[in-house]
Structure 1
Amino acid sequence: MKLKYTTILLSGALLLSVSSCKKDLVKINQNPNASQNAQPDYLLTAATKATADTYWGTANNMDASLLFVQYWAKIQYTDPDRYIYTSTSFTDLWSVGYAKSIVNLNQIIKLADAQANPNYKGVALVLRSWVFALLTDNYGDIPYTQATNIDQYLTPAYDKQRDVYLALLEDLKTAQASLNVAGPAILGDVIYANKIAPWKKFANSLRLRIALRIADREPEKAKQVIADIQAEGSGYISANSETAQLVYLASPNQNPISNLFDTRDDYRISKTIVDKLFALNDPRLPIYSSKTQDATPNTYVGIPNGLLVGDASNLGFTKTSKPGTYFLAPGAPAVIISYAEVLFDRAEAAARGFTTENAADLYTQAITASLNQYSIGDAAIATYLAQPAVAYDATNYKKSIGEQKWLALFGQGLEAFAEWRRLDYPQLAPAVAGTLSGKLPLRFLYPGTEQSLNGTSYKAAVANQGADVLTTKLWFDVN
């Protein structure tokens, strides 16, 4: 008994000691040479870079969406190209999106309100909307409402995809109203070098993208959003120089694709897109694809998606084409929204009757912008546009826009994956040795950590949306 009481007394003394020293420990652990409060410019740079790296990186782009839409194929370790994934395969977009991107952007919004700088708030809302859009585009139902206050909700509920898209449209409307070219300056912007006017166009362009995401389900809402954008008056991204993108630098801040190809040789360009580029005499072929190392009859040789390992390697590493050197360069940009995409979106809005613009003219402008993006000359552009196979078909705008938009979005795996599901063009064949019974993937799997750490919310989302498998259609994917 004496020993028991002694232990209790010692424990109590220790607790008192810890309590009395708490303030001193906090002071001791402070770095006198570093700020104890995060600065919005540092947070902005960090959030942008972290998101772009993940968006353009291996797990979500190279080993998933670039394969799904058949831009790239695998010549080694072909499991992803055959749709063989685990519950950890799609973790990066989720974990970085929530733990780094959204957390930092939420903090910028708080600091912006405290410092009366609405431009930081507007920029952060635009980027946060982009991150949430990437998440819901690929997983479906996701935490949104409670995810903006993670301190209060450690196991956030999932919002339905429809509700997320509608909330993002409101967030972007708020961002547009917050952004003021005559307002306080910002720093840390590695997309538009701290200029506010292009951010207003970026916000509107993202609003247009999301409006079309919901157009098959909520056409009147989509039409109203586009009318609001036109009434607001800031316009859309209107030149290739205004494309929203992160331009990378030399190592160690190089493009993630360049970084991977420095040490690995797992990927080739897909036969699907090579065949299409050849069929259209498309001048982007030598940009999208590298020449084969050994001389071959066609110079550019893609490989079918989803081959067994032996069948893929038998095609020959030196007789098949890697992606083009433009995309393998250290400074290649991670494109978020291009001028060409915006023009295709405007063409579709006109084709749907949401605006009075000329769909055919905008379609032609979109193709021209894509070719100009890669410095293709006017004569080659005119020859390309003159082909009957390229001409706009008003009776099937989804086919015309879907196929040309797919070509224009090359490299932007996540965005191309969303647009292919929405427009249903091009019509892709499943992987040769695919494991989905002749089907193609339609979404990402939720990370396995959601089942173990947020199980109640995860189960509710699955009950609402459907099985947590690759072939479950998301709300926006109607056909």
Structure 2
Amino acid sequence: MIMNKLFKRLTFLIVVFTISACTKDFDIINTNPNAPDTVPTSYLMTNAQTYIMTTLRNNGLGGRMGMLYAQYWSQLALTDESRYYVFSGLTNNSFRDLYLNLYDLQDIINKCKENPEENGASGYAPNQIAVAMIMQAYTFHIMTDIWGDIPYSEALQAKVNTTPVYDQSEDIYRSLIEKLKEAINLIDVSQPGMRGDIIYTGNMNKWKRFANSLIMRIGLRSGDLNAVREAAPNAFQSNDDNANFQYAATGSAINPLYVDWVENKTLGKQFAVSKTLVDYMLNNNDTMRLAAFATNLEKNPNKPAIYRGLTYGLTNNNSILEFFKGVSLQTERIYKADASTPLMNYDEVLFILAEIDNDEGKFREGVKNSAMNWGVEKASAQQLADEIEYKGLESIINEKWVANYMQGIQGWAEYRRTGYPELKAPVDGYHPSAMVGDLVVPNRRQYPPDESQLNGVNYNKTVEKLLDPGGQQQTPMFWQK
């Protein structure tokens, strides 16, 4: 969806009112940044979806954390983050921006509850509330998987709360399942859907399926298999149900990787596809999906393709030396201006069902649908699925990892939960300031330093419970293996 001048103007107004509502210390999650009352809820939804996906898939939180920690990518230069140095500015900005957009979603909920008829031009009010709740659940789920305990129950209160408590991650998980069920029950498919919705363009049947699929993901990770089984019949049924965000060729909703890599001329200077991923896929003869992920180094079209990943966790000098020997970069499909990016796909539902029932058939269906989702023809996708060896949980998670390419935070979470795939500790060792002990990858992200100043009492109570309050990266999540 291309945002027109009116939307840009309204987005500007939202930013202006947001900043004016904040304290001089930019107290983000502890201040209510209300948008002006005249902004339609449809614009709030477009704005929230756009900037949530931008924050999660940009060069920062998406590239320099998620795609590195899951070892889909390796850093080419300034390789500190692949060796687990944490830039405080990136963490501060990501934490702040996600809460700002959660506020936009809460604003939709509040407006539709208080004045359903007045806001009816953007869709049937309960449907609007449901979409906003599902997007909030998606966002909070990812945030608690990154940081663990976070402000949740008091974070989006209508009245200004300068010191929201940090809720336990396990409690947040339970609440999210209930919130998703509540959202599902609100949906009336006979009534108009949410306008301004980029993901499903207001198709409420698909929002129902997405909500049930999210319940399956959250339920599996937290061990609530009853919730998984209850949601499964109404979850995604095919790739047609996939939740994807479509970037625009121009304007505010342009792919952030296009801006970072093409417009800012950094393509091939920051990331290459990781050797961990390339080697795994080559060993499985999975070259058709690999061709969608990584560039072919063989320039002669009459010769077999060559793919070579960059070793993970090199120092700057060693990374540059390996780069000059030839490594595969990301394909244009990943960074083109109007690319689409997944929130969750049908193949993940199949892998979840395969795991809880040790179902080889569902596993192979998951591989096939993932391959088709990446542009592989059905017959070739079926052949790939038939030929991959099945070894239970290891195979399921390994292939789920491949299918989750571009969802780096999910790949990282599944490794923490199961120990698969076989990721590598940084080859050249940890950054001198990394505080991860002997972990292969961090168990969580350090909290934003701003929080120690803006919400110090609750921040201190939370970090005191961690194994390593100084580094905060070693304490496992409640759902970890």
- TM-score when scaled to structure 2? 0.84
Q: Secondary structure at 1:314's aligned position in 2?
A: helix
- 1:342 is the counterpart of 2:349: yes
Are the counterparts in 1 of residues 418 and 480 from structure 2 also a CA contact under 8 Å? no
CA deviation after TM superposition for structure 1 residue 457, in Å: 0.6
1:101-135 CA deviation, whole Å, 9 max, x = no partner?
11011111111212331001100000000110011
CA deviation after TM superposition for structure 1 residue 36, in Å: 4.0
Write out aligned runs for 1:68-467 (5 A). Answer: 68-99=69-100, 101-116=101-116, 117-149=125-157, 151-215=159-223, 222-229=224-231, 235-252=234-251, 253-262=253-262, 263-264=265-266, 265-282=269-286, 283-292=288-297, 299-317=306-324, 319-351=326-358, 359-387=359-387, 390-393=388-391, 397-435=392-430, 436=436, 438-439=438-439, 440-467=441-468
Are the counterparts in 1 of residues 310 and 323 from structure 2 also a CA contact under 8 Å? no
Q: Secondary structure at 2:89's aligned position in 1?
A: coil
**Change over 3 Å in CA distance of 1:175–1:294 after alignment to 2:** same
Unaligned runs of 5+ in 2: 1-34, 117-124, 431-435
Matched residue type, 1:194: G
Q: Secondary structure at 1:475's aligned position in 2?
A: coil
**Change over 3 Å in CA distance of 1:408–1:470 after alignment to 2:** farther
1:135-164 CA deviation, whole Å, 9 max, x = no partner?
101000000010021633111110001001
What residue number does 2:20 align with? none
Matched residue type, 2:238: A
Task: State the distance in 1 between where 2:323 and 2:355 align.
Answer: 41
Task: State the distance in 2 between where 1:143 and 1:133 align.
Answer: 12
Are the counterparts in 2 of residues 292 and 318 from structure 1 also a CA contact under 8 Å? no
For the pair shown, the structure with the greater C-alpha radius of gyration is 1
Task: State the distance in 2 between where 1:297 and 1:227 align.
Answer: 44
Are the counterparts in 1 of residues 75 and 82 from structure 2 also a CA contact under 8 Å? yes
CA deviation after TM superposition for structure 1 residue 407, in Å: 0.7
What percent of counterpart residues are identical? Answer: 28
Write out aligned runs for 1:20-31 (5 A). Answer: none
Task: State the distance in 1 between where 2:449 and 2:210 align.
Answer: 34
Are the counterparts in 2 of residues 208 and 226 from structure 1 also a CA contact under 8 Å? yes
- TM-score when scaled to structure 1? 0.84
Q: Secondary structure at 1:200's aligned position in 2?
A: helix
Task: State the distance in 2 between where 1:172 and 1:35 align.
Answer: 28
**Change over 3 Å in CA distance of 1:239–1:386 after alignment to 2:** closer
**Change over 3 Å in CA distance of 1:348–1:274 after alignment to 2:** same
Task: State the distance in 1 between where 2:473 and 2:416 align.
Answer: 12
1:327-377 CA deviation, whole Å, 9 max, x = no partner?
1222221210011112112222323xxxxxxx2111111111001112212
2:476 to 464, 474, 477: 474
CA deviation after TM superposition for structure 1 residue 298, in Å: 6.4
Are the counterparts in 2 of residues 118 and 184 from structure 1 also a CA contact under 8 Å? no
Task: State the distance in 2 between where 1:114 and 1:184 align.
Answer: 19
Are the counterparts in 2 of residues 307 and 433 from structure 1 also a CA contact under 8 Å? yes
Task: State the distance in 2 between where 1:198 and 1:332 align.
Answer: 21
**Change over 3 Å in CA distance of 1:35–1:143 after alignment to 2:** closer
Are the counterparts in 1 of residues 443 and 477 from structure 2 also a CA contact under 8 Å? no
Task: State the distance in 2 between where 1:450 and 1:226 align.
Answer: 34
Q: Secondary structure at 1:386's aligned position in 2?
A: helix
1:390-411 CA deviation, whole Å, 9 max, x = no partner?
2333xxx321111000111111
Aligned length: 424
Are the counterparts in 1 of residues 295 and 331 from structure 2 also a CA contact under 8 Å? yes
Structure 1, 263-272 or 144-153: larger mean CA deviation = 144-153
State the superposition RMSD in angstroms. 2.1
